[in-house]
Amino acid sequence: MEQIFNQAVGDLLSTRLSTPTSESYIYKGVKIIKDEDGIRILNTKFNGDYYQEVTKEEYDIFKKNGWRTGCYLVATRNNRKALNIISEKIQEEIKTMKNLKRYNMLVRYRDVVINRFVTTLELLKQ
C-alpha cells in the first residue's frame, strides 16, 4: 500500500488534500488517504456524504496495476454502474411517461456519463 500511496504522491494529475492529521490524493473519483489508521483507498462515488472504502477486489486491482491504472479501472466501474442506474430510470420514465422534462434530463445525463466512460477507456488504453 505504501508503494501505491507513493505513486499517488508522484502523480501530477492527482490533487493533494492535506490536514494536520492526514495526507490524501484524489483522482478520477478515487481517494487514497494516509493517516494514523494507515493507508486506505476510498471510492468517492455513489455513497452520498460518506466515501466508501474500495472492495478487496478493487484493492487487488490497485496492487496489480498501480495508482493511475487502478483509478481508471474503478472509474470505469463507477461509470458502468451509473449507466445502469440511469438506464433503469429512463425505462421507468418510458413506462409511466409522467414527466417529459425528467426523461430528457436523464437522456442528457446518460450522454454525459457515456462521454466520461469513453474518455476513461481511452486513457486506460494509453
Q: Cell numbers at residue 40, please?
A: 486506505
Output the CA–CA distances (angstroms, integers) from residue 5 to 12, 39, 85, in the order listed. Answer: 13, 8, 31
Rounded distance between C-alpha atoms, residue 27 and residue 65, angstroms: 15
pTM score, two decimals? 0.85
* 98 CB neighbour count, 10 Å cutoff: 9
pLDDT at 113 over 90: yes
Whole-number pLDDT of residue 26: 97
Q: What is the pLDDT of residues 50-79, one digit of tens each?
A: 899 999 999 999 999 999 999 999 999 999
* Helices (H), ranges, 1-126: 2-10, 56-65, 67-96, 100-125
